[in-house]
Amino acid sequence: MKRLENKVALVTGSTRGIGRAICQRLAEEGAAVAVVGRSPETVEKIAQELRDAGFNARGYAADVAKSEDAKATVAKVVADFGRLDILVNNAGITKDNLMLRMSEEEWDAVMNVNLKGTFNFTQAAVRPMMKQRSGKIVNLASVVGRMGNVGQANYAASKAGVIALTKTTAKEFASRNIQCNAVAPGFVMTDMTAALSDDVRAMFLKVIPAGRAGSPEDIAGVVAFLASGDADYVTGQVINIDGGMLM
């Protein structure tokens, strides 16, 4: 029996990169997957690809920054699948700039998606999880949220907020058998990092003891563990997935 068999997982920001890899891994582990993203066409495309591979998946379009979208999406998932066991808050954006040049719009956009979006979906998902008296929430933080980074005041602050939100959620819902943890990826090869120059990539690789960048699949594997019964006694934790970069 696969360790996530008969479980239902909702993954935000799941149409590419880390989110897409998480959907794939959770499906391989036996979960039915709700693919959530902003574009109706794209979420349905990813869901169809999963169905074509023999998995149970549906697409849901939502803006994570809108509380009403989060509540409506969770309600649809529960109506369609009958329950919700796993929430992965993966949706995130960057709008990098030096602090002196960062606009209010750049600050607000990143905070609204990365931090408020995580709060919105967590608040919506814990309700059915409380009724079931079981649930797993995995939030995507970042090593940048633990160490800061030049030109990323908004992103670093949002991810530090995700870490604090993770710990608070874990404390508030532990008695209801709901575990909440976070993973903090380091330098991972995605569409976002692929746009960096060779010099910048080389700079990152110099400070990674493992000597390589991470892959979306590296992140997905740890998320799958935290979403499973193997992590029933793990809550309020932040696991760095960074090849040893931040020890």
> Residue 37 forms beta bridges with which residues?
61
pTM given for the model: 0.97
User: Do 241 and 185 contact (CB within 8 A), yes or no?
Assistant: yes
Cα gap 155→161, rounded to integer Å: 10
Asked about 155 being catalytic, the answer comes back as yes
SS (H, E, C) 193-212: HHCCCHHHHHHHHHCCCCCC
Catalytic residue among 55, 60, 121, 155: 155
Does the pLDDT at position 197 exceed 90?
no
pLDDT tens by residue, 130-180: 999 999 999 999 999 999 999 999 999 999 999 999 999 999 999 999 999
Average pLDDT over residues 85-108: 97
Q: Which amino acid is present at 233?
A: Y
User: Do 63 and 109 contact (CB within 8 A), yes or no?
Assistant: no
Question: Residue 146: its pLDDT value, please?
Answer: 97
Average pLDDT over residues 195-203: 76
Alpha helices in 33-103 (DSSP H): 40-52, 67-81
Q: Could you tell me the pLDDT band of residue 199, with boundaries at 50, 70 and 90?
A: confident
Question: Residue 205: its pLDDT value, please?
Answer: 87
CATH of domain 8-241: 3.40.50.720
Question: Residue 96: its pLDDT value, please?
Answer: 93
Greatest C-alpha distance within the chain: 54
Query: Residue 181: which residues within 8 A CB-CB, separation 6 or more?
Result: 137, 138, 139, 166, 170, 226, 231, 234, 235, 236, 237, 238, 239
Question: Residue 191: its pLDDT value, please?
Answer: 79
Question: Residue 198: its pLDDT value, please?
Answer: 80
Question: Residue 190: its pLDDT value, please?
Answer: 86
Minimum mean pLDDT among 88-92, 112-116, 192-196: which range?
192-196
pLDDT tens by residue, 200-228: 778 888 999 999 999 999 999 999 999 99
User: Do 125 and 85 contact (CB within 8 A), yes or no?
Assistant: no
Sign for the CA dihedral angle at 62, 24, 57, 8 comes to negative
Which residue from 46, 78, 49, 70 is spatially nearest to 59, judged by alpha carbons? 46
Q: What is the CA radius of gyration of the chain?
A: 17
Pairing assessment for the beta strands 86-89 and 57-61 based on DSSP bridges? unpaired
